[in-house]
Amino acid sequence: MRAVAFFVHGVEAVVRLFGWIAAWTCVVLVGLVAGDVLMRYVFSIGAIWLQELQWHLISPIALFGMSYLLLMGEQVRVDVFYERFPVGLQRVIEVIGGLLLLVMGLYIAWLTLPWIAQSFARGEASPNPGGLPLRWLLKSLIPFGFLLLALQGLAHALRQAFALPTRGE
């Protein structure tokens, strides 16, 4: 039981770190968008790389944020039915959901690996002149984000199965 709790707390610490990274990436994104708008409309200067960087930053926000949302209990569920279920049934649903996330996250991460390898082998970059290079690096966030989701799904399932208290309890 102690090893399970140690594993769950370790995974959750990693997910918290990447949730923090996603949150600060949002702040950076807002700053970049404001700077881009200021440059374009006040100084009539535009940069393709700056616009591409803005949409590139949305990827870590979404990919790291989905695990963090699960950790914080903000995942989508049909509360109209769920809240009326007995606690035991709620736990079973949470365990099954966590295990399904584990399987789905690992499967999606595995599916993306050949796509990223192909992008790396081609040295894929932006097709736009002045665009960002190393597009494969951005694409590599996809399996990483889904691996993080899979690990959080497992931690979530274990927390529910063993009725582990959250850090605040």
Domain ranges within the chain, ordered by starting residue: 1-75+84-168
**Cα four-point dihedral sign 29, 55, 134, 121:** positive
Least Cα distance to 123 among 133, 138, 112 occurs for 133
pLDDT tens digit sequence for 149-166: 999 999 999 999 999 987
What pLDDT sits at residue 79?
77
Please give the average per-residue pLDDT across 104-125, as a whole number. 96
- C-beta of residue 70 within 8 angstroms of C-beta of residue 166: no
pLDDT tens digit sequence for 65-89: 999 999 998 887 777 888 889 999 9
What pLDDT sits at residue 71?
95
What pLDDT sits at residue 72?
93
- Whether 115 has a pLDDT exceeding 60, the answer reads yes
Average pLDDT, the chain: 93
What pLDDT sits at residue 169?
44
Q: In angstroms, rounded to a whole number, what is the distance separating the alpha carbons of residues 146 and 108?
A: 7
Q: What is the DSSP letter of 46?
A: -
Q: In angstroms, rounded to a whole number, what is the distance separating the alpha carbons of residues 27 and 37?
A: 16
pTM score, whole prediction:
0.91
